[in-house]
Amino acid sequence: MPYRPTPRTESRKAATRERIVTAALEQLADGGYASASVQTVAKRAGIATGTLYRHFDSKSALFAEVFRQAAKRELDAFAEATKDDGRPTHERVGAGVEAFARRSLAEPTRAYALIAEPVDPAVEEERLIFRRGYRDLAETALAEGIARGELAAHDTRTAAAALVGAIGEALVGPLSPANGAGPRHHEALVAGLVQFCIRALPRTESIRQEVLQS
């Protein structure tokens, strides 16, 4: 009879896999992608390197999964900040930008790895998927702003992609290990980035006048 894994065996396998991913996430936060060799992650997880390879056949495969999990958390936070809960569009966009910036600056090494650190092609593909996710969320908010008369009609996809690109580009320098990224005050950076993105929104004339008068 062919071997059939028992529920207990499957549970152990799933637990080991989760330990590996958790160790890799922690290593990513401590030293970035370059520091996270298969051997380092296996040691951190408390397993043999061969055991890790039974779950992931390469560092690239492991970190494609790690990037999926880490990036999903950030995307979920952005979605929560920009959700349609009755706020004006510029407030929702501003909240999303602020949440992304603050979360990135709070963990600069991990954020730099997710945003800009050179990675393997499989991991880069995961990065691009989530960039499109941010763009789609921003595009939805912009389209809703047009429907409510808060924003002038415009190419929402292009505008959303430009906003996402601006956010990432503005943070790469401050997050970069080459610039000594670490704990520091970033209030001016966050405020400036939020203000830039809000001002970039193509408001209708009536809404623009309301903002100017407020």
Q: Which segment of 3-12, 90-99, 141-150 scores lowest on mean pLDDT? A: 3-12
Is residue 14 included in any domain, yes or no?
A: no
Per-residue burial over 3-38, b if 16 or more Cβ lie within 10 Å, else e, is: eeeeeeeeeeeeebbebbbebbbebbbeebbeebeb
Is residue 39 included in any domain, yes or no?
A: no
pLDDT band at 213 (very low <50, low <70, confident <90, very high): very low
Give the chain's domain count: 1
Instruction: State mean pLDDT over 106-121.
Output: 94
CA distances from 6 to 3, 9, 14, 19, 159 (A): 9, 5, 12, 20, 52
Is residue 147 included in any domain, yes or no?
A: yes
Domain encompassing residue 171: 66-213
Is residue 1 included in any domain, yes or no?
A: no
Is residue 102 included in any domain, yes or no?
A: yes
Instruction: State mean pLDDT over 178-184.
Output: 59
Kindly report the average pLDDT of the chain as a whole number: 91
pLDDT band at 172 (very low <50, low <70, confident <90, very high): very high
Is residue 169 included in any domain, yes or no?
A: yes
- What separation, in Å, do the N-terminal and C-terminal C-alpha atoms of the chain show? 77
CATH for 133: 1.10.357.10
